[in-house]
Amino acid sequence: MTKSYTLMTPGPVPLPPEVLEVLALPMEHHRTPEFIALFNRVLENLKKIFMTQEPVFIHTSTGSGGMESALVNCLSPGDHVIAVVSGKFGERWADMAETFGARVTRIEVPWGKAVRPEQIQVELQRNPDAIAVMSQACETSTGVLHPIREIAQITAQHKALFMVDGITALGALPMPMDEWGIDVLVAGSQKAFMLPTGLSFISFSKKAWQRVETATCPRFYFDIRKERAANAAGESGFSASVTHVRALDLVLDIFLKQGLERVHQRIQALSNATIAAAKELGLNVYPEPPSPSLTTLSAPDGIDGQKLRNDMEKNSHVIVMGGQDQLKGKVIRIGHMGAIRDEDLLDTLRALANSLNQIKPGFLSPAQLDRALEKANTILQMHPAVVLKAAPSLT
């Protein structure tokens, strides 16, 4: 823990120093009037990030808990669902639905590609009994961005709900739940929310609430009806993670004071800068289209992606992710969420160039790296990092 690394992974992400300070505050009980006031402010502010009039709920769980909550609250065993599977997280959600007794029709999308809205249309026409379409907004294992808005327009014409795992999308790019017509939207704390792992967030549309009331999937911890009743009385159903929620309060305050648009623009700028620099370095972007929340770069011919990321970690103390399963050794993934300063991205590009040359001497010229850094820097200058103010008092 004494070694300092530049964390550039798409979750967990580097935390702002102000968030770290709040995380170190003494424990407080979650039933005190002070915490209850803070908790309610957080619930209200979360609605502004989800851009919904419906309540948003907090589970003390990883993001996958939020994905499970979406399923157990809307499904009954035997229900038919259509799942977009374009990588590891799509697989996970489809497997989870099967675990709870759903019949799952999988739309297998080649990794790195986005699902086409017509595919959803076709499957819904072929399977009129389907009660839900499930998709990631950003499939973090490949870095692709799916056409969520277009899919929502299609599901709106059917009885099927549209459930979206927005864990690497919400807070990173526009995802207005009500305006687009998303029925169930899930987010998590350790991605764009700049917090440690441990909270998931979820909201249900009016169309989804009808399912929530009648679904027969066994549910206890994630039973959103219990949480709704507790929240209506101003409290959390179970012990709130006071530490996480206090830090969330700070992050939401920052997001809303700075404007969500500026937060999104900064992440988009990190993505644009990375892509522009990659071109100068002769590297290709793997997914089409890429999500702004992370950039997945193909490892060049003859260079193993896993070796490349390991070398960046060992020699430059920069941590990026490799690929999993069919992408193992083929890509590196660079995160753009969290408290990333300009110099963190520039250091990452230097580390990348350094390791490429380490593995394949002469792969890059110093002039190429200079041009890449200059391109990236120019873009970053236009959208400076969102600066935080001093940590606030407790309430």
Q: Which residues bind ligand PLP (CB under 6 A)?
A: 11, 62-64, 89, 136, 140, 165, 167-168, 188, 197
Q: Which is nearer to ligand PLP, 197 or 258 (CB)?
A: 197
Distance separating the N- and C-terminal Cα atoms of the chain: 31
Q: Which is nearer to ligand PLP, 12 or 300 (CB)?
A: 12
In the complex, least distance from residue 176 CB atom to ligand PLP, rounded to whole angstroms: 19
In the complex, least distance from residue 260 CB atom to ligand PLP, rounded to whole angstroms: 19
- In this structure, what token pair is assigned to residue 314? 């060992």
Q: Which is nearer to ligand PLP, 89 or 222 (CB)?
A: 89
Q: How many CB atoms lie under 10 A from the CB of residue 364?
A: 20
Phi-psi region at 90: left, alpha or beta (left = phi > 0; alpha = psi -120 to 50): alpha
Q: Helix (H, G, I), strand (E, B), or coil: what is residue 331?
A: strand
Q: Which is nearer to ligand PLP, 16 or 87 (CB)?
A: 87
Q: Helix (H, G, I), strand (E, B), or coil: what is residue 160?
A: coil
CA dihedral of residues 218, 220, 225, 229 (deg, nearest 10): 160
Q: Which is nearer to ligand PLP, 245 or 277 (CB)?
A: 245
- In this structure, what token pair is assigned to residue 226? 């219990």
Q: Which is nearer to ligand PLP, 38 or 152 (CB)?
A: 152
d(CA 265, CA 172): 9
In the complex, least distance from residue 195 CB atom to ligand PLP, rounded to whole angstroms: 11
In the complex, least distance from residue 210 CB atom to ligand PLP, rounded to whole angstroms: 26
d(CA 160, CA 166): 18
Q: Which is nearer to ligand PLP, 64 or 357 (CB)?
A: 64
Nearest in space to 356 (alpha carbons), one of 287, 310, 319: 310
DSSP 276-313: HHHHHTT--B-SBSBPTTEEEEEPPTT--HHHHHHHHH
In the complex, least distance from residue 294 CB atom to ligand PLP, rounded to whole angstroms: 9
Question: In 181-223, where does DSSP find H-type helix?
Answer: 206-214
In the complex, least distance from residue 54 CB atom to ligand PLP, rounded to whole angstroms: 21
d(CA 262, CA 354): 32
Q: Which is nearer to ligand PLP, 322 or 373 (CB)?
A: 322
Residue with smallest beta-carbon separation from ligand PLP? 63
Pairing of strands 144-145, 80-85: unpaired
Question: In 1-116, where does DSSP find H-type helix?
Answer: 17-23, 33-50, 63-74, 88-99
Q: Which is nearer to ligand PLP, 38 or 148 (CB)?
A: 148
d(CA 246, CA 250): 7
Q: How far is CA 103 from CA 15, 65, 77, 127, 323, in A?
A: 40, 20, 8, 11, 29
In the complex, least distance from residue 143 CB atom to ligand PLP, rounded to whole angstroms: 10
d(CA 346, CA 369): 10
Q: Which is nearer to ligand PLP, 16 or 90 (CB)?
A: 90
In the complex, least distance from residue 170 CB atom to ligand PLP, rounded to whole angstroms: 11
In the complex, least distance from residue 183 CB atom to ligand PLP, rounded to whole angstroms: 17
